[in-house]
Amino acid sequence: MAGEWSMAFGMVLTTFLVALSALLFLAAWQSRRPVSLPSIFEESPSRVTFLFDGERLVDASPAARALLPDGEDSRAWARLVARFGHDFPNLSGCLAALPRVGQLQVPSQPGSSPALVMTAEYLSGLTRLTVEDGQSVRAAGRGDAATAAALQQEVMAQRGILSRAPVLMWKEAPDGAVIWANHAYLIRAVELLPEGEDLSWPLPKLFDQAEAGQARLPRIKLQMPSGPEWFDLVRMPQGEETLSYALAADKAVQAESALREFMQTLTKTFADLPIGLAIFDRSRALQMFNPALADLTTLAPEMLIARPTLNAFLDAMRARAMIPEPRDYRSWRRQLARLEEEATMGIFEETWSLPGGQTYRVIGRPHPNGALAFMFEDISNEMLRTRRYRADLELGQSVIDAVEDAVAVFSPGGQLVMSNHAYAQLWQHDPQVLLSEASIATLCAWWRDHAAPTLLWDDATEFVTSAGDRTPWEGDVRLLDGRLISCRFRPLTGGATLIVFRTQGAVTYPSLMEATAMGVLSA
């Protein structure tokens, strides 16, 4: 009995020792294996997901760790950018904007197979990056039909706007190749293709700009088969690529060309004008003048090109005795102030008699934006002719007044243009006082009232107002005081008429008198 108990005890002890040895062996074997830390992405180990704190990798799914080369987690950001930089263009620039936008999706570059989508989220200072197949992303989004329809409508609307925009738009790669263009660009590209050649990839480049770094380039002409077209180019960098816009500038070019031609015509007209023109801006500085101004004012062109002020301009004219000299300098300054004030109101117009004998007509007129324009015209010859004409009239009047017979001269229309003192004394009135009313009909009525009844005045009215060839004639009338008057009617050059009234019995020299009067009037 005791032996059986001893045997049982030995078997139990042996079994315990074997189990203990097995446990110790298993513990030693487990201690040799690497310890795997728990991951927050264990529920989806097949997804490529990274979690960064700044540029340090905090956690990643098994599939994501398999994509990154071995290295320290503190340098995992640079390894990730290097790993996916080829698939996602401008990845660094897009991720740099993540803290500001919070969430974004970056598609892989066109032509990548398979197409990938990187979803980036910025939450509480941590950056979560998920790389998925583009097809699976689209399939996952099919559940929200309303969102998908709205996105589709927005995409179609934007695509229609871009394709139908009248502005030429295109995108250039870093090497300058055209990688996208809208409908307006493609139409012109097709028109410029050689005959028999089709549009192919890469797209032809319509504009070759040397100044690629400038945002707004100079105006460029595009020679189309239908004629030249002008465009203003605008370039907008978008990462490593560049968006370019060509704005139509044909109307602006036509307007500038018309303005340039108008200015050239205006300049030529100003240059040929005999009237001196000076235009002063609102600050009263000379902005424009023509060559005649330098000739009339005797000012040096260099002085005018220096754009003097109005006061300096007039002071220089005064120094050259080209302005009427006032009695003192103070009145001269008052005259300048009045000149500018009246020119501003548009009522300044004067005739300047200069010390050198010239006579200038000066006109001042306001221009838009407070500018002033002055015109200087030399009217010396006109004034000389006027003075000579007045002198001739005075001389003719003196000659007529020296004639003893009463003389009256009528125009072809029957208006009295000249009479002498003898006429005023004979008929007891001076018709020159109311010359506008001194017609042949008015004067015949006066003569009829101061003479005996006769039909001679009716014939006189008809003779003075008749046109064509006329024959001289004469007749007698008796005044109310009893004097007998001989009336002689003579046609003059140009349809005028000379009437001579002679008192019968007076000692005169008719032939000499008539010859003198007719000669003076004809002259």
Domains of the chain by start residue, with CATH: 48-141 (3.30.450.20), 158-252 (3.30.450.20), 273-378 (3.30.450.20), 391-522 (3.30.450.20)
* DSSP structure class, residue 176: S
Evaluate if residue 210 carries a pLDDT over 60.
no
Residue 163 near residue 182, CB atoms below 8 Å: yes
Spatial separation of the C-alpha atoms in residues 417 and 191, rounded to whole Å:
80
500 pLDDT band, cuts 50/70/90, is very high
SS3 at position 118 = strand
Cβ of 151: how many Cβ atoms within 10 Å?
A: 12
64 pLDDT band, cuts 50/70/90, is confident
SS3 content of the chain, % helix, strand, coil (to 5): 45, 25, 30
**pLDDT attached to residue 329:** 56
Evaluate if residue 378 carries a pLDDT over 90.
no
Q: Measuring CA to CA, how many Å separate 52 from each of 43, 56, 102, 130?
A: 19, 5, 14, 11
| Non-local CB neighbours of 58 within 8 Å, separated by 6+ positions | 51, 52, 73, 126
Task: Please state the φ and ψ torsions of residue 101, each to the nearest 5 degrees.
Answer: -95, -25
Evaluate if residue 407 carries a pLDDT over 50.
yes
Query: Rounded mean pLDDT of 72-76?
Result: 69
pLDDT in tens, 425-480: 888 887 766 545 688 888 999 999 999 999 999 999 999 988 888 899 999 999 98
Looking at every residue in the chain, the average pLDDT score rounds to: 77
Q: For residue 177, what are its two tokens? A: 């190749």
Spatial separation of the C-alpha atoms in residues 104 and 215, rounded to whole Å:
28
Spatial separation of the C-alpha atoms in residues 84 and 87, rounded to whole Å:
5
Task: Please state the φ and ψ torsions of residue 203, each to the nearest 5 degrees.
Answer: -65, 145
**pLDDT attached to residue 501:** 93
More confident residue, 164 or 496: 496
- CA atoms within 13 Å, Cβ hemisphere of 342: 14
Spatial separation of the C-alpha atoms in residues 387 and 522, rounded to whole Å:
19
More confident residue, 235 or 39: 235
Query: Rounded mean pLDDT of 89-112?
Result: 81
Most confident stretch, 95-104, 161-170, 208-217: 95-104
DSSP H helices in 134-249: 134-140, 145-164, 183-191
Evaluate if residue 115 carries a pLDDT over 60.
yes
Q: Measuring CA to CA, how many Å separate 355 from each of 151, 320, 440?
A: 88, 10, 46
Spatial separation of the C-alpha atoms in residues 231 and 188, rounded to whole Å:
13
**pLDDT attached to residue 505:** 64
Residue 146 near residue 126, CB atoms below 8 Å: no
Report field, pTM of the whole predicted structure over 0.75 = no
Residue 129 near residue 50, CB atoms below 8 Å: yes
